[in-house]
Structures are given as C-alpha cells and as structure tokens.
Amino acid sequence: MTQLKQLSQAAALCALMAAGAAHAGEVEVLHWWTSGGEAKAATALKATLQKQGHTWKDFAVAGGGGDSAMTVLKSRVVSGNAPAAAQIKGPSLQEWAAEGVLTNVDAVAKAGKWDEVIPPVVANIMKYKGHYIAAPVNVHRVNWLWVNPEALKKAGTKLPTTWDEFFVTAEALKKAGIIPVAHGGQNWQDFTVFESVALGVGGVDFYKKALVQLDPATLTGPQMEKVLTTFKRIKDYTDKNAPGRDWNLATAMVIKGEAGMQLMGDWAKGEFIAAGKTPGKDFICAAAPGTQKSFTFNIDSFALFKLKNAANEKAQQDLATAIMSPEFQELFNLNKGSIPVRTGMKMDKFDDCAKQSAADFAADAKTGTLVPSIAHGMAVPAAAEGAMKDVVSQFWNSDKMTAKDAQTRLAAAAKSK
C-alpha cells in the first residue's frame, strides 16, 4: 500500500515536472548591447526572464547603433530562422510587420493595460494596423553633451550653451592640451552629432522639415548649409585616432579627462555610471548647444517574431509582459542611461540627468518640440536613413566635398526607397 502510494506520488511529481518543462521555453533575443552600461542593462532583461523559469539565448551582435545587428537579423529571417525577439525600432517596425513575420501581442498588452501606460507617441510606433507587435523598453534622449568638469576647469573655460560658445570652449581645451571632442568616426556616430547640430543650429521646425519630412527645399536651403558647415567645424577638435573608434571608447576618454566633451545619446551615461561616476560631480550632462528646449527621442523596443513552438511562444509573451513591468523598467533604465517608457513611474532612484530627461520629455511632448532621432531609426524609413547617413559621413571625411555638394547628395539620398 505504502509502496503504491509512493509510486503514485512519484508519478504525480513526474507529471508536474513534465508540465513545468513544457511550460518553460527558450527566448532567443537579438540585441547590440555589448558596452559596459549596455551589457548591465541586458543582464537585467535576462535575469527578469530567467526568474520565470525560461531560458535566455543571447544573440548579441556588437556594433553601436545596431547596423551590424540588423544585417544579421535580415539573413536569419530570410533563412526562416527568426529569433523570438529582436531590438528593432521606429519605422522599421512597420517594415518588418508588413513582411508578415511579426506576432501580435495584443493579449499581453491588454492584460498589462499598455494603452494606459505607454504615451501615444510611443504606442503608435509599437503598433501595426492597430495591433501591438513590439514592446518598448525605454526613452533615450539623443541631444546631450557630456562634459568632464575637471577638464573645463583646467582649461579655464565654461560649459557651452550655444554653438558659438561650443567653439570657444573647444579652442580653450585645445590650448590646454586636452582633446576637445571625443568622437568615434563611424557613420552612425557622425550622424548622431549631425542631428544635434541640425537641431541646435536650425531649430525644431527646420529639423522636422529637413530630417523628418525630408523636404527637398529645406535640405538644399541656406539653413542646411549652415548646419553642415558648423558640423564640419567640429572635426578640427577631434583627435587623429577618431576614425573607427567605438562610441564607448570615446566616452571613456571623457571619463578619464583625456577629452573634454562628447556629443552622444544618454546610453553614454550608462558608461559613466558603470565606471562609478556621479553626475553633477564627476561629469556633466547638458543639452547639446542650442537644443535646451527640445528633445530628440530614441526608443528601444523589442519586436516579437512568429514562432513555431508553443513553449517558446509562451516564454516570448512572458518576456513582453516583463518588459513593461514597473520593476523591470526601473532596473533596466537605471543601468541603460535612459528613462522608463512607462508613464507614472517613480523617479526617486534616478539621477539628475534622468530626472531632467523625464521632465523635458513631458514638457516637449506638450509644446511639440519632441522630435524623432533620424540617426537612431526613429524618423524616416531605413533606406533613406542609411543613404543620408552615408552622405553625412562622406562630407565629414572629405577634404573636397563642399556643403553645397553634400546638400545636393542629401536631397537625392532622402529619396532612397
């Protein structure tokens, strides 16, 4: 009798374990978060998923800005081997959804009340024909200037708020033997600097017309000429080792005081934080010159691909649920340098840069001065973005191309489909 009871207990246990195993799935996640701060944030995502008993299969493709990751993703999807989730952003989400390869996460969104907690400007990007096909993780601000205050002090100069002041500060840093601008000469980094100059020199309306609506007259007009000339002037203040340098190595130069400033999105803050630095004391975050009253947004999100295995589908849906949870949004963004995308979050654990970003995001959304980042896949279709990015880098690297030439090429590139 006892033996029988033990046997049936064992059988019940086996059945339970089998059910558990069937329930636990694997989620393969494509991302490009390999730098110090980025990797910490990715680990937070992995831990969140593993807590639910699922397996995380890391599919990291190094390369800031994600161009390499997108190339690898395309070949995987074409060969019928899509990952469960991939970091895809902005209008590209619509392009992937139109291919019919993304899955609908409306059930998760409904249960998590996403429509109530995701700002409409973001929710629209996450939906295809009214259905959620991606989960947003954060809001990055791109128009930042990162500064080493010690370097400013040594050079006897101050934090610039306009582009004229920027060049005065850069000149003073140069005289003091400090590299004025830490830069990595990769096309997405050139484009990141370019869009901040466009916003600061041209203003919000110009930015929208030129870099969101791709208006040919604005792209070839006098304001764009001024933007390109200002942008190119910055090159004189970068060092000779800039070509090809990764963005996080450029940030490290500012952290160490080898360089004074860097124009980069707030994933750079993740590097300062990972290095144990404190904002306001060891480093300064300021709006890029002339962009104090505007905000270029860059929202990271995970698109969910159609899968064939039920357990993996369940794991994928659990990942989407976890991404939007307040706990995850806090932990992830504390490491990533961004702010939670979820509204109504407490910001008390966040630093002053994040608090400023959150306040500005809300204020700029009201005043219409919130603009999508073209350099980070938020503003225009991928083909136009890629072609324009190349023109901007060619202009940056060429000794011969005039701003006028670059404008003609930009307008042509904007028509790429």
Residues that bind ligand GAL (CB under 6 A): 32-33, 38, 64-66, 140, 267, 298, 300, 376
Residue 298 CB, nearest distance to ligand GAL (Å)? 5
In DSSP notation, 268-336 reads: HHHHHHHTT--BTTTBEEEEPTT-TT-EEEE--EEEEB--S-HHHHHHHHHHHHHHTSHHHHHHHHHHH
Beta carbon nearer to ligand GAL, 157 or 190: 190
Residue 313 CB, nearest distance to ligand GAL (Å)? 26
What CA–CA distance (Å, rounded) separates 186 from 222? 27
Residue 65 CB, nearest distance to ligand GAL (Å)? 5
Beta carbon nearer to ligand GAL, 252 or 406: 252
Beta carbon nearer to ligand GAL, 184 or 289: 184
What CA–CA distance (Å, rounded) separates 261 from 145? 7
Beta carbon nearer to ligand GAL, 66 or 202: 66
Residue 267 CB, nearest distance to ligand GAL (Å)? 4
Diameter over CA atoms, the chain: 93
Residue 300 CB, nearest distance to ligand GAL (Å)? 5
Residue 92 CB, nearest distance to ligand GAL (Å)? 11
Select the residue whose beta carbon is closest to ligand GAL and give its number: 64
What CA–CA distance (Å, rounded) separates 278 from 273? 7
Contact 327, 137 (CB under 8 A): no
Beta carbon nearer to ligand GAL, 202 or 270: 270
Residue 27: closest CA among 323, 335, 324, 376: 323
Query: Which one-letter DSSP state was computed for residue 341?
Result: S
* Extended beta strands in 10-167, E state: 26-31, 55-60, 85-87, 127-128, 131-132, 134-136, 138-141, 144-147
Beta carbon nearer to ligand GAL, 25 or 64: 64
Map tokens 């860059």 to a residue. 298
Beta carbon nearer to ligand GAL, 112 or 184: 184
Residue 336 CB, nearest distance to ligand GAL (Å)? 7
Instruction: Spell out the residues 6+ positions from residue 319 whose beta carbon is closer than 8 angstroms to its own.
Output: 27, 29, 49, 54, 84, 85, 135, 302, 304
